[in-house]
């Protein structure tokens, strides 16, 4: 491969379920690698498994990527490219590199068991290569349909992994992979390699569970007369305790994150920074995040997914979000907030939907919280409430006058006022909030009747 070729990466999920945090991370890493290099990000739906692939999952994958801000530059479906795989398979057959095998699953399992018991690796023994034409014909007359294996070359495959460094895999330790099932359908390997060649994929960035597959794919690409792409295998994501993530857990899907009120930038930022040498951080700008991204920062250790950390990151993102970004999202949620309110409360929300509660505090009807021992103090506060117009100085001037009149200070001064005016013990700076509440509503809440 030559670096002069335009950078092209691919994200290749199977539409057999919803995107979860593990494969979202792979999509994010691919997009961030390509973006600052002016590269292309291709979505390839690996949907040759007709029994398990579902159109609703394909649509959901596209919707999820769009919501995350990872819209692909092009999309392909493997189910529409079967003729390309047929041509490649025929080329391999003509070269004697794709050969028919007639063993049943039970027979193969017995072979593997015998090899293990004899202390040998459970590698396919290539018995099918010893069959003559007459023997194959007899098996087919008996109803046996062949599956087809790729004959691996001898030797060691070496490649430089952009995350793991130098990798060497002895092909003698691997079975010749099955490329075509007995029913004529393709397994993952051949379509993937053919697509990588024809779509001119320059870099394959994926999970480390594919490292061994890479040796086979390099050998297959070379057998088809192509130069394989560069590879980068990132560590897999595990749960907070170091155990495997449950890919079937609905709470770990894009749909679940969206329903929980997380922002797309939060999910992307988390996937880009967790499991790296950089601290987990929130980025509202994809260009900035892409500029900071480097495959070399990916750790060889598993990335630990911590849902609490993800939600904390969402809060940080919102605390820094500007009004222009927040406004359309609030409208989409049906939250009637203006810029002044957003600027006042954004530092105290964990999700955008939380703003609605502060809209109610500012513009709605709340139940003031006034403790019996504070009644005289609240009455004095009502009498000293400044005339309008109000601004950012009003709270400071009012509380200074109250301090002088009552002798209260610190929490004893500020907390009773906050509870009376907002019904809450904690919240945004009252200097920002008070002018939004307004004098009439504040006076009503300070009333002891």
**pLDDT at 5 (0 to 100):** 80
* Residue 448 token pair: 């002891």
Q: Give the residue from 78, 299, 271, 92 showing the smallest Cα distance to 186.
A: 78
Low-confidence ranges of the chain (pLDDT < 70): 1-4, 247-249, 449
Distance CA 290, CA 36 (A): 6
pTM of the model: 0.91
User: How far are the Cα atoms of 335, 341, 350 from residue 354, in angstroms, in the given order?
Assistant: 9, 12, 7
Can you list the domains of the chain with their CATH numbers? Answer: 8-76+188-238 (3.40.50.620), 83-180 (3.90.800.10), 250-322 (1.10.1160.10), 324-363 (no CATH), 372-446 (1.10.10.350)
Q: With residue 37 as reference, give the H or E element that holds it.
A: none
Bridge partner residues of 11 (DSSP): 43
Determine the pLDDT at residue 369. 95
CA distances from 368 to 130, 355, 425, 447 (A): 88, 19, 11, 9
Q: In terms of C-beta density within 10 A (0-12 exposed, 13-18 middle, 19 or more buried), how is residue 282 classed?
A: buried
**Distance from C-alpha of 293 to C-alpha of 29, rounded to nearest angstrom:** 8
Q: What is the pLDDT of residue 278?
A: 87
Both structure tokens of 363: 């513009």
Query: Which residues partner with 98 through β-bridges?
Result: 150
pLDDT value of position 242:
85
Instruction: Please report which residue ranges of 82-180 form alpha helices under DSSP H.
Output: 82-94, 105-117, 133-141
Cα separation of 152 and 169, whole Å?
Answer: 12
In which residue are the tokens 């222009």 written?
Answer: 324
User: What are the pLDDT digits (tens) for 316-338?
Assistant: 999 999 999 999 999 999 999 99
Interval 218-256: pLDDT, tens: 999 999 999 999 999 999 999 888 888 876 557 899 999
Any idea which residue has 């403790």 for tokens?
371
- pLDDT computed for residue 248 by the predictor: 56
- pLDDT, position 1: 41
Peptide bond into 74 cis (omega under 30): no
């Amino acid at each position: 491969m030559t670096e002069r070729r335009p950078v092209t990466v691919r994200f290749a999920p199977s539409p057999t379920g919803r995107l979860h945090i593990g494969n979202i991370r792979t999509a994010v890493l691919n997009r961030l690698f390509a973006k600052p290099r002016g590269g292309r990000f291709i979505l390839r739906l690996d949907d040759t498994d007709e029994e398990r692939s579902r159109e609703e999952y394909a649509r959901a994958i596209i919707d999820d990527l769009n919501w995350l801000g990872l819209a692909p530059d092009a999309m392909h479906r493997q189910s529409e490219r079967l003729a390309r795989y047929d041509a490649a398979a025929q080329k391999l057959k003509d070269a004697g590199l794709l050969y028919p095998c007639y063993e049943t699953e039970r027979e193969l399992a017995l072979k593997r068991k015998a090899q293990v018991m004899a202390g040998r690796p459970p590698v396919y023994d290539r018995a099918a290569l010893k069959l003559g034409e007459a023997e194959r014909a007899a098996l087919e007359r008996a109803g046996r349909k062949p599956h087809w294996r790729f004959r691996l070359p001898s030797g060691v495959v070496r490649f430089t992994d952009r995350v793991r460094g130098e990798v060497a895999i002895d092909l003698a330790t691997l079975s010749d992979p099955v490329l075509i099932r007995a029913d004529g359908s393709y397994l993952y390997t051949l379509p993937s390699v053919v697509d990588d060649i024809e779509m001119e994929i320059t870099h394959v960035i994926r999970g480390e569970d594919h490292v061994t597959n890479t040796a086979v794919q390099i050998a297959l690409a070379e057998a088809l007369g192509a130069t394989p792409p560069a590879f980068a295998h990132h560590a897999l994501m595990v749960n907070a305790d170091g155990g495997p993530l449950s890919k079937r857990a609905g709470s770990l899907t894009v749909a679940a994150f969206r329903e929980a009120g997380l922002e797309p930038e939060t999910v992307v930022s988390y996937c880009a920074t967790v499991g790296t040498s950089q601290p987990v951080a929130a980025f509202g700008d994809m260009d900035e995040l892409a500029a900071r991204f480097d495959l070399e920062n990916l750790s060889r250790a598993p990335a630990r997914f911590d849902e609490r950390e993800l939600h904390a990151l969402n809060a940080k993102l919102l605390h820094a979000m500007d009004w222009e970004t927040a406004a359309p999202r609030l409208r989409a949620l049906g939250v009637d907030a203006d810029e002044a309110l957003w600027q006042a409360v954004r530092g105290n929300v964990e999700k955008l939907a939380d703003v609605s509660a502060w809209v109610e505090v500012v513009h709605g009807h709340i139940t003031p919280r006034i403790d019996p021992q504070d009644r005289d103090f609240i009455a004095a506060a009502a009498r000293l409430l400044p005339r309008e117009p109000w601004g950012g100085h009003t709270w400071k001037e009012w509380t200074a006058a109250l301090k002088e009149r009552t002798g209260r200070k610190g929490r004893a001064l500020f907390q009773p006022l906050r509870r009376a005016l907002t019904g809450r013990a904690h919240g945004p700076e009252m200097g920002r909030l008070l002018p939004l509440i307004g004098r009439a509503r504040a006076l009503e809440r300070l009333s002891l009747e």
